[in-house]
Amino acid sequence: MTHADLRADMLRHLTYSFGKDPEHAHIRDWRMALSLAVRDRIVDPWFDATRKTYAGGHKRVYYLSMEFLIGRLLEDAIVNLGLLETARDAFADLGVDFTEVLENEPDAALGNGGLGRLAACFLDSLSTIGCPAYGYGIRYEHGLFRQSFVDGRQVEEPEDWLLQPHAWEFQRPEAAFEIGFGGSVDESGRRAVWRPDEMVVAAAYDTPIVGWQGRWANTLRLWSAKPVRAFDLESFNRGDYVGAAAPEALARTISRVLYPDDTTEQGKALRLKQEYFFTASSLRDVVRRYLSEHDDLRAMPEKVAIQLNDTHPAIAGPELVRLLHDEKGLPFEDAEQAARGCLSYTNHTLMPEALERWPEELMASLLPRHMQLIERIDQAHAKANPGRKVTAIEDGEVKMGELSFMMAHKVNGVSALHTGLMKETVFAELNRLHPDRIVNQTNGVTPRRWLLSSNPGLSRLIDDTIGNGWVDDLERLSELESHIEDNGFREAFAEAKASNKRELARFVRETEGVEIDPDAMFDIQIKRIHEYKRQHLNILETIAYWRAIQENPDRDWTPRVKIFAGKAAPGYVFAKKIIHLVNDVARMVNDDPVTSRFLKIVYLPNYNVSLAERLIPAADLSEQISTAGKEASGTGNMKFALNGALTIGTLDGANVEIRERVGAENFFLFGMTAPEVVARRTVANHAEKAIAESPELARAIGDIEDGVFTMDDPERYRDIAQNLRGADYFLVCSDFSSYYDKQREVDAAYRNRDEWNQKAALNTARSGWFSSDRTIRGYMNDIWMARSAL
């Protein structure tokens, strides 16, 4: 396709799809026209893929996820179709700014963080590999909230990406299911019959996901909740207009908003409804599709693999048993076995407060038949394993992790360390009973988005050095290693980074009005704000560094810019305080005439996928400083290493594997190991002891306690200080010295810029294993028993 063809297609869409005269088109009109022109190119490969899947009788993979954090889709599609230059030229002809067009697209923020972004990377890899697959989720009207700061405090505003037409989706009025809630179970007949007393319609919206070079495209099918009867005419005729619209409003609530919290359960009936809503509609769709080609439901595992992304879709176990047993008439044992053969479960966290548990009462009132089936599944498990006391129901609650485990043929963790801890801790007993069930699949990230499109400078250098075969075979980055000795290559590598940093400095100046020096070290921590991720460790170290500079301003300090971004769950008070603290410290430090040559702090608001794409390519130092044993994997850590940032980190999650691969000498390790963390917690007054041993820490805590950064409100951070001096569950104090000292090693290392560049380039060259293509192949081979259809 030439740029003239693309231009003609856009003009046609502008005129005939949107009724706009090019003379009066806004950026948004151009973006929509380009999106449709590009979408047209995806439809044929998409149909082809579906035809090939049917014709070849291929097994299909179904990825059920409450979250898909896909971000912008236009650039992804353009890059995967190889149309980047074509589109750029077409807009040059039209005299329209192409970058502005791309940046006009709102982020589809249908997720909170790592779990949702992982699902999005997996979709890209499944299509690139040509594995027949569907993503299933919820079409939230409002994605993750928009964050802004008012006087340094986080303020949340609703996000409304669907206010404007969504260019990528196709509504499927023919694919709709009625989903029930509540009611009772009639057991008088041969089969139990569930009679719900509330119904909503699940309506499907499909987004094609095209893989690298357009060889294959899969479908992301998102469900939207609609009322069975749109409108109550009787109330309307009585003049009760609000009442008339009530059924619609009630049904719609189910797909209205994404719960803005990935680590604590709100215990809300609505959340359970959302979970059942999308799981039940997806499974009905799966069974319908299977039965359109096959008739033996017992053989379903040969053609169907269903992955549960965390426990959010855990109701899939009982629901599939219900469909096969109650509705299709399979004996319970056969139904259970067929369901287990299809289902597998990924665990993404061991934090007790994040492991879903639902009160039996709530479950029984919303899903009475499922509660019965859960009891039966639990009993069957107990009977098969006599003398064992592990159960899915305990203390009046249904434990969704245990239920998922019992109903899955494979259960996986997301990094080697995390999988090991799963076996030793939460699932120890179940692992003893089913020693082959738990497997590891270390997370990965898509190189299409996280290197090729977000870091064009570095990508060009890689292309020029080793060709472009790395994009779908990322381990080929290792071929860069032999070039690292070459001065020319190292300089070009450094220049790619420097240019990304200049671009970020411009962005920070324009959006925040803060001047940062592109030659300073860019030290970046971006992720959800959580105590276990320890943004407060980072800011305490920053305060200590600031004090050190103040005391000795004439020393030759290594200039740094500390960059933070991330959202806190709206109800998580401590996390919001950490945000406020960082902003307060930033205000004071950035205005300090003595230190500001050496130290700047920037907290960028409204962290999302697009902001990550801007920040990661410009990073020198990646902060991965969680308390060991708490971060299941991390995926940001991989993106940074791939883009040539060095990591300062603990032995947690996938940091362990990153360090093994990039080499210990190219990674700044600090802090306690997971077993040391467990032991340290038993030491009486561990925090007090650590504070007594570190004057830097004592002073930094003293500063926030005495209101140094909050003259207007000296009490503001007393409780943070109190927490640190007291329980300090996440061991900020105990790890502080090790972190502070390691940061000084980082300073020294950065001064030898050539050596630093060499380490950075080695990080890129040795990160190929962290491609989500590798991860997906692992799932295909070890869990799904699925093959590429290409």
Annotated catalytic sites, by residue? 348, 527-528, 533, 635, 639
Q: Is 601 in the site for ligand NTF (CB under 6 A)?
A: no
CA-nearest of 165, 32, 31 to 98 is: 31
Q: Which is nearer to ligand NTF, 125 or 633 (CB)?
A: 633
CA Rg value for the chain: 27
d(CA 316, CA 337): 13
Please answer whether residues 641 and 660 qualify as being in contact, where contact means their C-beta atoms are separated by less than 8 angstroms: no
Shortest distance in whole angstroms from residue 401 CB to ligand NTF: 11
Shortest distance in whole angstroms from residue 111 CB to ligand NTF: 9
Per DSSP, the residues of 127-142 read HHHT--EEEEEE--SB
Q: Which is nearer to ligand NTF, 63 or 181 (CB)?
A: 63
Q: Which is nearer to ligand NTF, 378 or 402 (CB)?
A: 402
CA-nearest of 571, 534, 747, 785 to 646 is: 747
CA-nearest of 43, 34, 42, 40 to 90 is: 34
Rule CB under 6 A: which of 225-284 touch ligand NTF? 262-263
* Contact residue for ligand NTF among 75, 105, 310, 620 (CB under 6 A): 310
CA-nearest of 27, 51, 37 to 4 is: 37
Shortest distance in whole angstroms from residue 767 CB to ligand NTF: 16
d(CA 306, CA 784): 8
d(CA 145, CA 158): 5
Rule CB under 6 A: which of 111-130 touch ligand NTF? 113-115, 118
The tokens describing 599, both together, are: 């130290």
The one segment of 35-43, 394-402, 404-412, 631-639 that binds ligand NTF by CB under 6 A: 631-639
Q: Which is nearer to ligand NTF, 143 or 634 (CB)?
A: 634
Shortest distance in whole angstroms from residue 68 CB to ligand NTF: 13
Q: Is 655 in the site for ligand NTF (CB under 6 A)?
A: no
Shortest distance in whole angstroms from residue 260 CB to ligand NTF: 12
Q: Is 443 in the site for ligand NTF (CB under 6 A)?
A: yes
Neighbours of 57 (CB within 10 A): 11
Q: Is 454 in the site for ligand NTF (CB under 6 A)?
A: no
Burial label, 584 (beta-carbon count in 10 A; 0-12, 13-18, 19+): buried
* x/- letters, 336..365, toward ligand NTF (CB under 6 A): ------------xx----x-----------
Nearest to ligand NTF by Cβ — which residue?
Answer: 114
Q: Which is nearer to ligand NTF, 176 or 354 (CB)?
A: 354
Q: Which is nearer to ligand NTF, 113 or 318 (CB)?
A: 113
Please answer whether residues 31 and 101 qualify as being in contact, where contact means their C-beta atoms are separated by less than 8 angstroms: yes
Q: Which is nearer to ligand NTF, 494 or 638 (CB)?
A: 638
Shortest distance in whole angstroms from residue 122 CB to ligand NTF: 10
The one segment of 128-136, 456-464, 493-501, 632-640 that binds ligand NTF by CB under 6 A: 632-640
The tokens describing 788, both together, are: 């590429």
Q: Which is nearer to ligand NTF, 86 or 637 (CB)?
A: 637
Size of the site for ligand NTF (CB under 6 A): 18
Please answer whether residues 135 and 627 qualify as being in contact, where contact means their C-beta atoms are separated by less than 8 angstroms: no
* Contact residue for ligand NTF among 32, 414, 445, 648 (CB under 6 A): 414
CA-nearest of 267, 408, 421 to 351 is: 421
Q: Is 767 in the site for ligand NTF (CB under 6 A)?
A: no
Burial label, 268 (beta-carbon count in 10 A; 0-12, 13-18, 19+): exposed
H helices of 192-307, where? 233-237, 241-253, 269-291
**Residues with Cβ < 8 Å from 419, sequence gap 6 or more?**
412, 413, 438, 439, 440
Which bin fits 720, alpha (ψ -120 to 50), beta or left (φ > 0)?
A: alpha
* x/- letters, 33..72, toward ligand NTF (CB under 6 A): ----------------------------------------
Phi/psi of residue 506, each to 5°? -60, -45
Q: Is 674 in the site for ligand NTF (CB under 6 A)?
A: no
Shortest distance in whole angstroms from residue 263 CB to ligand NTF: 5
The one segment of 324-332, 535-543, 611-619, 626-634 that binds ligand NTF by CB under 6 A: 626-634
User: Sign (positive/negative) of CA torsion 412, 413, 416, 419?
Assistant: negative
Give ∠ CA 453-455-458 in degrees, rounded to 5.
125
Q: Which is nearer to ligand NTF, 42 or 398 (CB)?
A: 398
Beta bridge partners of 142: 257
How far out from the chain centre does Cα 181 lie?
Answer: 29
Per DSSP, the residues of 430-480 read HHHHSTTTEEE----B-HIIIIIIT-HHHHHHHHHHH-SGGGG-GGGGGGG
Shortest distance in whole angstroms from residue 349 CB to ligand NTF: 4
* Contact residue for ligand NTF among 633, 694, 723, 767 (CB under 6 A): 633
Shortest distance in whole angstroms from residue 770 CB to ligand NTF: 12
Shortest distance in whole angstroms from residue 527 CB to ligand NTF: 9
Q: Which is nearer to ligand NTF, 310 or 728 (CB)?
A: 310
Neighbours of 343 (CB within 10 A): 27
The one segment of 231-239, 625-633, 692-700, 712-720 that binds ligand NTF by CB under 6 A: 625-633
Residues in contact with ligand NTF by the rule CB under 6 A: 113-115, 118, 262-263, 310, 348-349, 354, 414, 443, 631-635, 653
